[in-house]
Amino acid sequence: MPAHAGENVTFGFWVYLMSDCVLFAALFATYAVLQGATFGGPTAYDLFDLPFVFVETMLLLTSSFTMGLAVIAAREARVGKTWPSGPERRLLLLLAVTLFLGLAFLGMEVYEFWHLIAAGEGPTRSAFLSAFFTLVGTHGLHVALGAIWMCVVGAHIWFNGITTGAVRKLTILSLFWHFLDVIWICIFTFVYLFGGLAL
Amino acid sequence: MKSFKAYLTGFIFSIVLTVIAFGLLHFHIKSGHVVPPHELMVPLLILLAVAQLFIQLVFFLHLGQEEKPRWNSVAFAFAAFVVLVIVGGSLWIMNNIDHGQNDLSEIYPTGEITPQGQDD
């Protein structure tokens, strides 16, 4: 692979992330417009449990941090040679922690959704709830895909060691994971905290 | 080790900002939507979110730290512009959509859709 190919791959992925931003912008705009259209059903203020969302946020923030540490661990390892098991083991451990935190976040979100649907407050209840489930669900889907991707990259490192390719894959994955964190900040502010304001 | 410091700084800042945002809302609700004042909460929360986004973009996504030409930053600026147009434009139009409509309460003051006083 030419020397600049890695940079190009990273930039290409960055452009994808920016287009994903636009996707989320459309969903945020939809939510903002339909927020008040509760059709006599529950409002955001009635539904959302703030301590629950706080824990979710902490899980995702921490997973973003451990993902960053994993990238550092990968860069520190001597690329393209045989390694001592040290950095490799540390990297896999950090990835496992990140995966665990991501899955815990996802589990809480699935629980929240299941809870709402079981109470008859699913996406069919009102335009507000349709917009809410679409926005938060799309983010959740991204986290789920990120978790699968993390398993793939982890397996790659497990079998092939920390190669140049593995570092590049991990770098791109970390961009994706940090990006999801950024989207979540917008969700917890504009959906949950603004919901708590009872505007 | 420099990048470890960056990640740690970013992490601590984002945790602190999150705790402040949730804490403010907690006190706001506990005090019966009085402290901090209701009209101040929206700008405060937006300010905290923007600070948080800035921290994450700089310390985690390393925005603006690549070599020139800074294509990542250019792509980001364009995306930010599109996001602003989509969200701002949608809210602007949807909040003003009533102004283009006839006010039905003027035409039918009693609230009935069927016009009164018509012969059968």
CB contact under 8 A, A189 and B33: no
Percent of chain A's residues with pLDDT above 90: 70
- The separation between CA B91 and the C-alpha centre of its own chain, rounded to angstroms, equals 11
Q: Which of chain A's residues have a Cβ under 8 Å away from the Cβ of B52? A: 185, 189
Q: Which of chain A's residues have a Cβ under 8 Å away from the Cβ of B45? A: 189, 193-194, 197
The model's pLDDT over B11-63, given as tens digits with 9 standing for 90+, comes to 999 999 999 999 999 999 988 888 788 889 999 999 999 999 999 999 999 88
Q: B117 versus A68: which is more confidently predicted? A: A68
Q: Taking Cα atoms as reference points, which of B42, B62, B106 lies closest to residue A182?
A: B62
Shortest Cα distance from B111 to chain A (angstroms)?
20
Q: Taking Cα atoms as reference points, which of A32, A184, A49 lies closest to residue B26?
A: A49
- Residue in chain B nearest A54 by alpha carbon: B22
Q: In this structure, is the dihedral angle defined by the CA atoms of residues A119, A121, A125 and A130, taken in order, positive or negative? A: negative
The model's pLDDT over A103-137, given as tens digits with 9 standing for 90+, comes to 999 999 999 999 999 999 999 999 999 999 999 99
- Kindly give, in sequence order, each residue whose CB lies less than 8 Å from that of residue A30, ignoring residues fewer than 6 positions away: A131, A134, A135, B90
Q: Taking Cα atoms as reference points, which of A148, A135, A143 lies closest to residue A188?
A: A135
Q: Which of chain B's residues have a Cβ under 8 Å away from the Cβ of A61? A: 11, 14-15, 18
Separation CA B120–CA B118 (nearest Å):
6
User: What is the per-residue pLDDT for B1?
Assistant: 44
User: What is the per-residue pLDDT for B23?
Assistant: 94
Q: Which helix (H) or strand (E) holds B116?
A: none
Q: Taking Cα atoms as reference points, which of A126, A131, A63 lies closest to residue A97?
A: A63
User: What is the per-residue pLDDT for B2?
Assistant: 57
Per-residue pLDDT at A18 exceeds 90: yes
Q: A31 versus A87: which is more confidently predicted? A: A31
**Cα–Cα separations (whole angstroms), residue B23 to A58, A175, B10, B14, B39:** 14, 29, 20, 14, 17
The model's pLDDT over B62-108, given as tens digits with 9 standing for 90+, comes to 888 877 788 899 999 999 999 999 999 999 998 887 666 656 566 65
A residues 75-114 lying closer than 8 A (beta carbon) to B: 75
Shortest Cα distance from A117 to chain B (angstroms)?
26
Predicted ipTM of the assembly: 0.88
SS3 sequence, A86-145?
A: HHHHHHHHHHHHHHHHHHHHHHHHHHHHHHHHHCCCCCCCCHHHHHHHHHHHHHHHHHHH
> Position of tokens 């800042």?
B13
The size of the A-B interface in CB pairs under 8 A is 114
Query: Does A50 contact B at CB distance below 8 Å?
Result: yes
End-to-end CA distance of chain A: 55
Separation CA B73–CA B17 (nearest Å):
24
Tally Cβ neighbours within 10 Å of residue A4: 9
Q: What is the mean pLDDT of chain A?
A: 90
User: What is the per-residue pLDDT for B63?
Assistant: 87
